A and B are shown apart, each in its own frame.
Chain A
Amino acid sequence: MVERKIRVLVAKPGLDGHDRGAKIVARALRDAGMEVIYTGLHQTAEMIVEAAIQEDVDVVGLSLLSGAHMTLFVDVAKLLKKNGLDEVLIIGGGIIPVEDVPKLQKEGIAAVFGPGTPTEKIVEYIIKNVKR
Chain B
Amino acid sequence: MSDIVQNILKGDQRSIARLITLAENNDKIATTAMKDIHPYTGNAQVIGITGVMGSGKSTLICELTRLYRKLGKTVGIIAIDPTSPFSGGALLGDRVRMMELAMDDGVFIRSLGTRGMLGGLTSAVYDVVEILDACGKDVVIVETVGVGQAEVDIIKIADTTLVVIVPGLGDSIQTLKAGVMEIADIYVINKADRPGVEQTIAEVESLVDITCSGKDRKTPVLSTIAKQGKGIDVLLQEIEDHRSYLEKTHLFEKQRRLRYEAELVEIIRKRLMSFIFDEQTCKQRINDLLDRIGEKKTDPYTAAEEILGTILK
Taking beta carbons and an 8 Å cutoff, which residues of A are in contact with B? Answer: 1-5, 7, 26-27, 29-40, 43, 46-47, 50-51, 53-56, 83-84
Contacts and interface: CB of A to CB of B under 8 A. Distances in A.
B284 interface: no
Interface of B: 13-14, 16-18, 20-21, 24-28, 83-84, 87-93, 95-96, 99, 102-103, 108-111, 113, 115, 270, 273-274, 277-278
Given A4-B25, A54-B109, A56-B21, A36 B103 contact: no
A126 B21 CA distance: 19
26 contacts: A1-B278, A2-B25, A5-B88, A5-B89, A5-B115, A26-B91, A29-B89, A31-B84, A32-B87, A33-B87, A33-B89, A35-B111, A36-B90, A36-B91, A37-B93, A37-B95, A38-B96, A47-B102, A50-B102, A51-B95, A51-B109, A53-B13, A54-B13, A54-B109, A55-B110, A83-B14
A53 B14 CA distance: 6
B205 to A, nearest CB: 36
Contact of A53 (B17, B84, B99, B111): B17
Given A35-B113, A39-B96, A43-B99, A54 B17 contact: yes
A1 B95 contact: no
Nearest to B93: A38
A40 to B, nearest CB: 4
Nearest to A38: B93
Residue from B25, B89, B92, B96 having most chain A Cβ neighbours under 10 A: B89
Contact of B89 (A32, A39, A40): A32
B90 A30 contact: yes
Nearest to B278: A1
The 3 closest A-B CB pairs, nearest first, are: A40-B96, A56-B17, A1-B274
Contacts of A26: 91
A1 B24 CA distance: 11
A51 B102 contact: yes
B90 A50 contact: no
A40 B91 contact: no
B266 to A, nearest CB: 14
B109 A39 contact: no
Given A43-B99, A47-B102, A35 B89 contact: yes
A39 B113 contact: no
